[in-house]
Amino acid sequence: MNQKSKLLGCLVGAAAGDALGAATEMRTRLQIEEKFEGYVRDFIAPPDDTFARGSRAGKVTDDFSLAYVSLLTLLDHHGDVTEDTAKQALIQWSHTAYFEQYAGPTTRSAIKRLLGFDVPPTHGFNLVNDNSKATNGAAMKMAPLALLSHGNIEKAIKDACVISCVSHDNQLSISAACAVAAATAEALHPDASLETLLQAGLEGARYGEAWGMKHAKTLAGPSVVKRIEWAIQLGQQAKLNLSILDDLADLIGAGLPASEAIPCVFGIIAAFGDSIEEAILAGVNIGNDTDTIATMVGGILGAYYGIEALPPHYQTLIEQENAYDFNATVERIEALTHA
């Protein structure tokens, strides 16, 4: 499999996971089954009681749009990941139509500060540890951005630290972002396996946790590292049925916190990783923050399996509904290796 296939697979997989999960977000697994009369297996226009209300089937949300706009912004700067280019990427996304409808609380506050607005403390005073900021907002965009590492895991992790600190400057969010970045970088290797991919994610989480405790804020909360370990164990021991989705949702969690969503991603990969389509759909149907979980699963496994493993209509519909040109973006990424 050539590198272009892996790069394209990551972008399409991440975008498809986001768009597929947009319809099921915030429901439980059983509520998803009831609403859609079974397991969701294809793109559906989001209902009016979801964040993506009013969108057409195949339209992405903040999860992939933020990643893609950030990637294009960084490519405009020759792929250089610095504090300044990371800030520019966030500001660039704030000018899109996605910002007002989708921006999460932590990302929204960070962008407002970058734009010069006064952002008062969430609780009206400076809380010693505001763990409401330990969300998955940095990790959700990291798979596409890790493509700039060209498979260099150390670079992917360090880039994730820089990017995370602009909006999610705490050890939990940074640990989660580094896990996704490292797993994606490993997935780009021609000799990667699901086992090496999972282990790279763990190592990235360990590095991010230690780096964050030294260079960013330390917040109270469950260890992303230990929860990834637990989620992988659950996934590897599971039979391929809906019970593993219930176990991951009930024991690990599938929500907004970084210590839930990202371990859940690795649990899904451990259980369903033999099929990228089934793994993405597991994220779509697990409930809660489905679009975020599915976009990370799709990005990591897309880089591992390549574009050929994804249904052809994924790329066609996503590009049509979002005016994207993934092939042109891949060419820009590949051009950096020859610069």
338, pLDDT greater than 70? no
Q: What value does the mean pLDDT of the chain take?
A: 94
Cα 180 from Cα 248, distance rounded (Å): 18
122, pLDDT greater than 80? no
Task: Give all domains of the chain, ordered by start, each with its CATH number.
Answer: 3-42+50-120+132-338 (1.10.4080.10)
pLDDT in tens, 12-38: 999 999 999 999 999 999 999 999 999
pLDDT in tens, 297-331: 999 999 999 999 999 999 999 999 999 999 999 99
User: Minimal CA–CA distance to 309: which of 319, 297, 292, 322?
Assistant: 297
What percent of the chain stands above pLDDT 90?
84
pLDDT in tens, 258-288: 999 999 999 999 999 999 999 999 999 999 9
Chain center to CA of 37: 27
Cα 296 from Cα 95, distance rounded (Å): 24
Residue type, 35: K
Taking residues 86-99, what's their average pLDDT? 89
pLDDT in tens, 212-261: 999 999 999 999 999 999 999 999 997 767 899 999 999 999 999 999 99
Lowest mean pLDDT segment, chosen from 6-10, 133-137, 161-165? 133-137
55, pLDDT greater than 90? yes
Give the gyration radius of the chain's Cα atoms.
18
Asked if 1 and 276 touch (Cβ cutoff 8 Å), the reply is no
Categorize the per-residue pLDDT at 339 as very low, low, confident or very high, splitting at 50, 70 and 90. low
Q: Is 30 exposed, middle or buried (0-12, 13-18, 19+ CB in 10 A)?
A: exposed
Interacting residues of 184 by C-beta distance below 8 A, sequence separation 6+: 10, 142, 143, 146, 147, 149, 156, 299, 300, 303
